[in-house]
Chain A
Amino acid sequence: MLSIKDLHARVEETTILKGLNLEIKPGEVHAIMGPNGAGKSTLGYVLSGRDGYEVESGSVEMDGKDLLDMEVEERAQAGLFLAFQYPVEIPGVSNMEFMKESVNALREARGEKSLSSAEFLKKAKEACKQVELPLDFLKRGVNEGFSGGEKKRNEIMQLIMLEPKLAILDESDSGLDVDALQVVANGVNSQRDGKRSFIVVTHYQRLLDYIQPDYVHILSKGKIVKSGGPELAKEVEASGYAWLAEAEGADA
């Protein structure tokens, strides 16, 4: 469903992704781990089409379509979702109208009818309940004054509402305590239906205790340097990322 081939991308003058390859089939969960500065967040931004992240070469196809040729909103309409590491505060727009606009934009793109206010509200209430966010969060400005954990749960609430084909979770675990981590993980796991795919980007193995990946990839200096099953995450947990430097030393 997602095919990334030899992707090179840069921010301003610095090339961050240097030949990244990744194949994801429907229903699979791929974890991408790596040290700070490896290019983990860049991957999410490049896939979502953020301004300033320029693709130098390579290709990305989603469901056989050229993802890189689409506008940011078209990628979302095609089924891509990015859960932000640092969700953005939009004080003057309520969470409710934000989500309603978004849900209906995606439904329209899929050729489905817009939800009525009542239908939307029902769905939104269920999603809030699932990530343990009080209902009054719907009335508040998007992420306005939310704690770090609340912002992360709000991202997962959106994931549940938007039903993407592919969700990229960018460090959805950072800054969470164990209880909040559990809530986030449960929210994500509830959306695993055998068809929806996930890229779980994380620095630590901890999140992967709760969200079991099918594959684990180690990203270093803009490429995937090692791939394996869930056991690879355990190795990282045990030995950290120091071995990367050694391996690279050996390469040279």
Chain B
Amino acid sequence: MSQWLNHVLERASTVDDWLSPVRAQALDTLKQQQWPTRRTEAWRYTSLHPVADLELKSGTGNVTAEAPIIEGLNSLDLVFVDGQLSTDISKLKLPEGITISELSAPSEPAEAIFAQVKPSRHLFGLVNDVLAQQGVVIDIAANAKVEQPIRIVNFASAGIESHQRTLVRVGENAQATIIEHGSGSGNSLNTVFAEYDIAEKARLEHYRFALHEGEAIHIGGSHFKLHDHARLNSTLIGYGSQLTRLDVDIEHAGEHAFAKFNNVYLLAPRQHFDLHSTIEHASPNGTTEENARGIIGDRAKAVFNGRIHIHRHAQKTLAELNNRNLLLTRGAQINTKPELEIYADDVQCAHGATVAEIDEEALYYMLTRGIDKQQALVMLNFGFVQEMVFQMPNKALADWLQPILKTRFESMMEKQ
């Protein structure tokens, strides 16, 4: 057992709010959990040693911060500092068809979604269930087409532990764009879990930027439930830090749902990044396209576990999962495991994982245009993840992210 988890259990009993009945259930489950070791399958390549005896303070709510500016994005920003909401929601000018409330205020969508979309197997998800008192609940009305992106920003400061929750319901035939934008580099622990219920024919464009670095410990998840004909386009970008662990679950609960999930990790030397994704095809005629691409710097370690589970009745499922990695040095490490579990007989599935080598033909082509070999290699290597950025539907976000990732990559190459 870990000191830290014991402390979580103690603190959980002091949390008293309208969600207490649900939290009590989560607490029961949590109490039955073993502290993961390297023998625990879900944590096989990620050591929780940095968390085991961690003692940090909670956020005070006295600190405010401005959301990072993204030119041309014009997003509606909800800013959290150390798990405390610093935006005054009551003063926001909301687009039509959208309601935003705090988690602490009882609401029907929160009741319908809290701990209902996220599977209970995630240990830190349970921790978040019992401790997260701050968060936002976003409700998009049926048929509302919300053009303005909604961005949930979270900063994690050094010395602070925080737990934050996001609940989103996209109503029938509605459309919305939600960005989870997290950062922090000091010694901190923050868990951020988000649950999305996407109703029939609704569309969600989703981004999660886990731009945590250095000593930050960031553990979280984004969990989606897709109903009939729902569409999800999600892009996840991770930097890796002392410890970053994200779990993504996409459940095809309804028929004819579509999910595209691209993710990129770009690990500076000695950073750690772990992504576990699980796609549940529980209904027929669903489509999933998942692409994970990573570049891993010296002595950095990436873990990718991508599971697609096609249930017995989920006929006519189309599912593709691809993971490609580029190791910048011999000290860089990737542990990748794509898993397909298929119980239906009429499906089309493909999966693969590679540790990439340079495309010699593309290199030759670039050299014939007079580009120096070193520069051509930088462009090709970066191109490998840039391709995912090009696919982001929101151009303002892509234009903002591209140079940031490029600069990061160039400095990774220099530090070799």
| A91–B364 CB distance below 8 A | no
Are A48 and B368 CB-contacts (below 8 A) given A88-B361, A91-B383, A94-B390? yes
| B365–A88 CB distance below 8 A | yes
Give complex CA distance A134, B214 in Å: 44
Does A106 interact with chain B (Cβ within 8 Å)? yes
- On A, residues with C-beta under 8 Å from B are 48-51, 71-73, 75-77, 81-82, 84, 87-94, 97-98, 101-102, 105-106, 109, 141-142, 158, 162
Q: What residues of A have a CB within 8 angstroms of the CB of B390 in the complex?
A: 91-92, 94, 141
Does B41 interact with chain A (Cβ within 8 Å)? no
Q: In angstroms, how far is the closest chain B Cβ from the Cβ of A41? A: 14
| A72–B379 CB distance below 8 A | no
Q: Could you say which of B68-76, B272-280, B370-378 contacts chain A?
A: B370-378
B357-389 Cβ-contact flags toward A at 8 Å (1 or 0): 001111011111111110110011011111100
Q: What residues of A have a CB within 8 angstroms of the CB of B385 in the complex?
A: 92
Q: In angstroms, how far is the closest chain B Cβ from the Cβ of A64? A: 20
| B367–A84 CB distance below 8 A | no
Q: In angstroms, how far is the closest chain B Cβ from the Cβ of A237? A: 31
Give complex CA distance A146, B173 in Å: 34
Q: What residues of B have a CB within 8 angstroms of the CB of A94 in the complex?
A: 386, 390
| A90–B366 CB distance below 8 A | yes
| A101–B371 CB distance below 8 A | yes
Are A90 and B364 CB-contacts (below 8 A) given A73-B373, A101-B375, A106-B370? no
Q: What residues of B have a CB within 8 angstroms of the CB of A49 in the complex?
A: 367
Are A98 and B366 CB-contacts (below 8 A) given A88-B361, A92-B390? yes
| A93–B370 CB distance below 8 A | no
Give complex CA distance A76, B384 in Å: 25
| B371–A71 CB distance below 8 A | no
Q: In angstroms, how far is the closest chain A Cβ from the Cβ of B371? A: 5
Are A105 and B360 CB-contacts (below 8 A) given A91-B387, A92-B385? no
Give complex CA distance A89, B366 in Å: 11
Query: Which listed residue, A50, A93, A142, touches B364 by the CB 8 Å rule?
Result: A50
| A76–B387 CB distance below 8 A | no
**A109 to chain B: closest residue by CB:** B370
Give complex CA distance A202, B198 in Å: 56
Instruction: List 27 interface pairs A-B (beta carbons < 8 Å), by A numbering.
Output: A48-B368, A71-B373, A72-B364, A72-B368, A76-B368, A76-B369, A84-B365, A87-B365, A88-B361, A89-B362, A90-B366, A90-B383, A91-B383, A92-B380, A92-B382, A92-B384, A92-B385, A92-B390, A93-B366, A98-B366, A98-B369, A98-B371, A101-B379, A102-B371, A106-B370, A109-B370, A162-B370
Q: What residues of A have a CB within 8 angstroms of the CB of B361 in the complex?
A: 88
Are A92 and B372 CB-contacts (below 8 A) given A76-B367, A98-B366? no
**B406 to chain A: closest residue by CB:** A97
Q: In angstroms, how far is the closest chain A Cβ from the Cβ of B218? A: 26
| B369–A162 CB distance below 8 A | yes
| A82–B368 CB distance below 8 A | yes
Q: A88-B364, A92-B390 are in contact. List 7 more A-B contacts (CB 8 A).
A: A73-B376, A76-B369, A84-B365, A90-B365, A93-B383, A97-B379, A101-B369
| A73–B387 CB distance below 8 A | no
Q: What residues of A have a CB within 8 angstroms of the CB of B373 in the complex?
A: 71, 73
Q: What residues of A have a CB within 8 angstroms of the CB of B365 in the complex?
A: 84, 87-88, 90, 142
| B371–A51 CB distance below 8 A | no
Give complex CA distance A50, B382 in Å: 23
Q: What residues of A have a CB within 8 angstroms of the CB of B386 in the complex?
A: 92-94
